[in-house]
Structures are given as structure tokens and as C-alpha cells.
């Protein structure tokens, strides 16, 4: 018997799209996005707006960033959970990360940079800001397609204006063994949309609805686009928010970046009435994302099989 073909994520090409005229390529891509997010909650995207030289510059900058002394990295603080420096966790000893709030805004990228490099590091701030702007364009295209495919165009301005961006930069040390070691626990993201990119060291795994794990092996110039719990709730379960994890082998460090679109504090995530009917009864009560995130990091939230259902399930 031949071996089964390994599961892979859907691959979607985002070139030649016209948001104004909504050309044939736009409509075809929109239907592919909708199917992928219904079934897998994520897909691999080709997005030509980000040139390879910018990607190379980003990972050079990340290596420089994570090589800073621990005391310097600890200066990346935030009152919001998982927005500042994360590391030194016994459960995930290979993992550390930092967050840059509103990274597409030049002043915010520069402010983050000056905290870690008081003498300045214009190349770093320019690189992460430029990358964040380009990734935010992909985020906005995907979200526009989601709303159009669900017939929710009338909420477009409200939805697009309800979020901020967080850029998280991550490093996973190589475990120096061929045995798989946990890089990051299985979890769902809590935000709207996540866009991930990595250096050429694999490790990301995504769980299917049937419980199988897909080992994601994106090409160097592609990105993984993933739905978070907040968009899952806003669409009343019409899209899937997938569990995913990072498993590491070998001795090479894995660097990755993630742009997260996140509901603004005070904005209530509430499913529009158009996605609630007899076949799709309301799943979640309206909730504030920041308050939900605070619950998620309590002992009860961490213990819950689904923090979102525990927090605001109907």
C-alpha cells in the first residue's frame, strides 16, 4: 500500500486583485478564502507586495533583537496580557517573544525601538514598520472578503475601524535533538485575524476539525493567515478558529513574526443579526476582547477547554 498524502493547508494567491472593480480574480479568491476559513480556519497565502529583501532584513533584525541581554528585553512591558516580553517559562523553555503595539505607525515602532536601543536603531524600526504596513493590507483584504462572502458589507466601516494591530516577534530555540519538543502549547488565537511568517525553520502545526495535525511547511515567500476566536464569535461560528502549536526539532532557531488584528478596548464583539437564525442560534454573548483576554490568563481561563465558551457562551 502506498503512503497517504500528508494533509496540507489550502494555498491562495492574492496577486492581481482589484478591490475597486471587484474583478473576476477578486471574486474567485474571495470564494477560496471563505471555503478555507470554514473548513480549516486558516490557509497559506501568496502576497507579492512583500519583497524577499524586506523579509531578509526582518530576520536579520529579529536576530539582533533577541541577542540583546535579558534585562534589556524585559523593558518591553505592557499592561495587556501577552503584549510585552514573554519568556523564561518552564513549560515552554524554547520560546520567547516581544510585542510592538500599533507597529504600522512610525512613531510607535520608533518608541519601541528606543526602549531597547536608547541610542536609536533606525533600520530596525523602519523594517518592522514597513513590514507591518504591508501585512495590514493583507489583513484588510481578507477581512473585506469575509464580510462580503457573508453578506455583511453594511458593517464594513465599523468592523475595519474596530481594530488595532499588534506585531509579535518570536524566537524558538532549537532543542538540539531530533525528537520533537514543545515550542508553544496548543491554543486558539483570541484576536480577529493573525498573519504569520517564519524563517525557513518549520515547526507550526494546525489541528483539523477531525483532530489530525497538519505540519505546516510554507514556502519562503508565503504567509499563514489564521482566524482567531473574536472573528469566530463575531461570525457566530460561521468560520473556524483552529487550534495550533509549535513543535521543534534540530539545533536551528526558528524566528517568526505575527501581525494580529485585535478589537479595540471597549469595543463589544457582537454577532450581527444576519448570521443568527434557527440553523445558527447565537453561540456567544457580546464581550469586550481585553476583558476576555484578562479572563483567559486566569487559572479558570487556562483550565477551561474553551475559554471563550466559559467566559461568554450562551
Least confident of 16-20, 149-153, 165-169, 300-304: 16-20
pLDDT on residue 117: 96
Q: Is the pLDDT of residue 116 over 50?
A: yes
Q: Is the dihedral of CA 28, 228, 47, 209 positive or negative?
A: negative
| Residue 124: band (very low, low, confident or very high) from pLDDT cuts 50, 70, 90 | very high
pLDDT on residue 220: 86
Element (H, E) at 65: helix 52-66
pLDDT on residue 156: 96
Give 127-156 as a DSSP string.
HHHHHHHHHHHHHHHHHHHHHHHTT-GGGH
Q: Is the pLDDT of residue 2 over 80?
A: no
Domain positions in the chain: 11-273
pLDDT on residue 165: 97
Q: What is the mean pLDDT of residues 86-114?
A: 94
| Torsion from C-alpha of 66, 67, 70, 76, nearest 10 degrees | -40
Q: Is the pLDDT of residue 6 over 90?
A: no
Q: What is the pLDDT of residues 138-183, one digit of tens each?
A: 999 999 999 999 999 999 999 999 999 999 999 999 999 999 999 9
| Residue 1: band (very low, low, confident or very high) from pLDDT cuts 50, 70, 90 | very low
Q: Could you please state the CATH topology (level 3) that the domain comprising 11-273 is classified under.
A: Jelly Rolls (2.60.120)
Amino acid at each position: 500500500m502506498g503512503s497517504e498524502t500528508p494533509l496540507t493547508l489550502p494555498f491562495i494567491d492574492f496577486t492581481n486583485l482589484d478591490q475597486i472593480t471587484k474583478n473576476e480574480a477578486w471574486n474567485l479568491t474571495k470564494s477560496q478564502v471563505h471555503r478555507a476559513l470554514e473548513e480549516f480556519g486558516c490557509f497559506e497565502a501568496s502576497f507579492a507586495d512583500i519583497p524577499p529583501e524586506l523579509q531578509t532584513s526582518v530576520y536579520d533584525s529579529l536576530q539582533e533583537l533577541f541577542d540583546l541581554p535579558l534585562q534589556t528585553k524585559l523593558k518591553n512591558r505592557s499592561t495587556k496580557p501577552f503584549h510585552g516580553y514573554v519568556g523564561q517559562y518552564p513549560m515552554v523553555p524554547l520560546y520567547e517573544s516581544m510585542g510592538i503595539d500599533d507597529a504600522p505607525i512610525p512613531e510607535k515602532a520608533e518608541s519601541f525601538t528606543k526602549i531597547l536601543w536608547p541610542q536609536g536603531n533606525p533600520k530596525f524600526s523602519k523594517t518592522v514598520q514597513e513590514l507591518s504596513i504591508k501585512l495590514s493590507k493583507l489583513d484588510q483584504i481578507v477581512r473585506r472578503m469575509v464580510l462580503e462572502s457573508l453578506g455583511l458589507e453594511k458593517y464594513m466601516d465599523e468592523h475595519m475601524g474596530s481594530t488595532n494591530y499588534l506585531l509579535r516577534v518570536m524566537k524558538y530555540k532549537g532543542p538540539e535533538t531530533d525528537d520533537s519538543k514543545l515550542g508553544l502549547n496548543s491554543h486558539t488565537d483570541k484576536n480577529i485575524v493573525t498573519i504569520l511568517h517564519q524563517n525557513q525553520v518549520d515547526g507550526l502545526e494546525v489541528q483539523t476539525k477531525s483532530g489530525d495535525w497538519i505540519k505546516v511547511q510554507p514556502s519562503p515567500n508565503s504567509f499563514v493567515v489564521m482566524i482567531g476566536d473574536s472573528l469566530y464569535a463575531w461570525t457566530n461560528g460561521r468560520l473556524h478558529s483552529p487550534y495550533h502549536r509549535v513543535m521543534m526539532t534540530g539545533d536551528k532557531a526558528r524566528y517568526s513574526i505575527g501581525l494580529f488584528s485585535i478589537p479595540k478596548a471597549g469595543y463589544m464583539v457582537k454577532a450581527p443579526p444576519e448570521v443568527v437564525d434557527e440553523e445558527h442560534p447565537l453561540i456567544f454573548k457580546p464581550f469586550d476582547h481585553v476583558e476576555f483576554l484578562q479572563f483567559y490568563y486566569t487559572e479558570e481561563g487556562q483550565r477551561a477547554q474553551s475559554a471563550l465558551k466559559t467566559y461568554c457562551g450562551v
